[in-house]
Amino acid sequence: MNWVNKSVPQEFILLGFTDQPWLEIPLFVMFLFSYILTIFGNLTIILVLHLDFKLHTPMYFFLSNLSLLDLCYTTSTVPQMLVNICNTRKVISYGGCVAQLFIFLALGSTECLLLAIMSFDRFVAICRPLHYSIVMHQRLCLQLAAASWISGFSNSVLQSTWTLKMPLCGHKEVDHFFCEVPALLKLSCVETTANEAELFFISVLFLLIPVTLVLISYAFIVQAVLRIQSAEGRRKAFGTCGSHLIVVSLFYGTAISMYLQPPSPRSKDRGKMVSLFYGIIAPMLNPLIYTLRNKEVKEAFKRLVARLTNFSASCPIFVITIENYCNLPQRKFP
């Protein structure tokens, strides 16, 4: 028991790209810029979708869930990364590493399932338009969203527990920017074949199966769209699905290359760059993709800006009225 306790360090050293210090300033600028865009973009989408009643539909309900996921996803890792880049001692406490590992795994797993649910929503909307309101009713949407969140956090509990139970024998140098399962498994001083097999099996469940369902959904969607007679109808259908396909390709493509490919000793930094892409760059691009390619979201954003402008324009009148009232001579009561 004492040996196990000694094998758990009080803190971890996150190496990142410490062997290439010239990268620190460009990485800091990139991380900070990406994080600001991610926060602003996803908060804007959540606000627009919540305030505009025309967008209270299943598709935008799932999009708001995705924006919330991306917001929390990057916040679990980027602030600590920015702090470490600025410091000479690039450390994270054991508790902070556990929290980072759990949250990152939970939100990543949830996003894998949520993207597949969003493709099912598009399948029903395009292939079964007359039954869409019946199939995708509010209760089912809430159940699907809840199932994705619960499944993601349940998976995180299992994987985090299996990973943290591995004895480290005092090893504390994590060759990564943040605490992630593959990087932590490399610290173990015992055989990790069973853990790697479990990680591979769960990755198949949360990556390959959802990707397969997405591809099947879009195969039916393409067939249905090609049967549409009007060019405007086809353009609108492909427009709403195109944004989701781009997001799916960015997220699943990089995650699969990270978790389902055998480790390559030649490219030690490849895993770091791939995880940075699906952990930081993809959440930043998601709101831009949906905003720039979605006419309804752009129009809703314009309506929100117009409402805020009208409100700010009416504020001076309100202030002047209050000031005039305050400057009125006070009535003296007997």
pLDDT at residue number 269? 66
pLDDT at position 179 is 87
User: What is the structure's pLDDT at 1?
Assistant: 39
Asked if 172 and 194 count as a contact pair (C-beta separation under 8 A), the reply is: no
pLDDT (tens digit per residue) in 89-98: 888 888 888 9
3-state secondary structure of 310: helix
Low-confidence residues of the chain, pLDDT below 70? 1-8, 170, 233, 237, 239-240, 262-269, 292-293, 311-334
Burial per residue of 144-179, b for 16 or more beta-carbon CB atoms within 10 angstroms, e otherwise: bbeebbebbbebbeebbebbbebebeebbebbbbbb
Q: What angle do CA 247, 48, 276 make, to 5 degrees?
A: 35
Q: Integer distance in angstroms from the first to the last C-alpha of the chain?
A: 85
What is the per-residue pLDDT for 7?
A: 57
Instruction: Enter the tokens of residue 241.
Output: 């699905």
pLDDT, residue 333, reads 37
User: What is the side-by-side order of every strand in the sheet holding 11-14?
Assistant: 91-93, 11-14, 173-174
Strands 91-93 and 11-14: antiparallel
Q: What's the pLDDT score for residue 8?
A: 67
User: Rg of the Cα trace of the chain?
Assistant: 24
Options 3.30.70.260, 3.60.20.10, 1.20.1560.10, 1.20.1070.10; CATH of 11-301: 1.20.1070.10
Write down the pLDDT at residue 334: 39
- What is the per-residue pLDDT for 248? 83
- DSSP letters, 63-92, are HHHHHHHHHHHHHTTHHHHHHHHHSSS-EE
DSSP-derived 3-state class of residue 173:
strand
At 189 the pLDDT is 80
| H/E element, 93 | strand 91-93
Distance, CA of 69 to CA of 156 (rounded, Å): 15
Distance (Å, rounded) from C-alpha 100 to C-alpha 179? 6
**Is residue 250 within 8 Å of 285, Cβ to Cβ?**
yes
- Residue 22, pLDDT score: 79
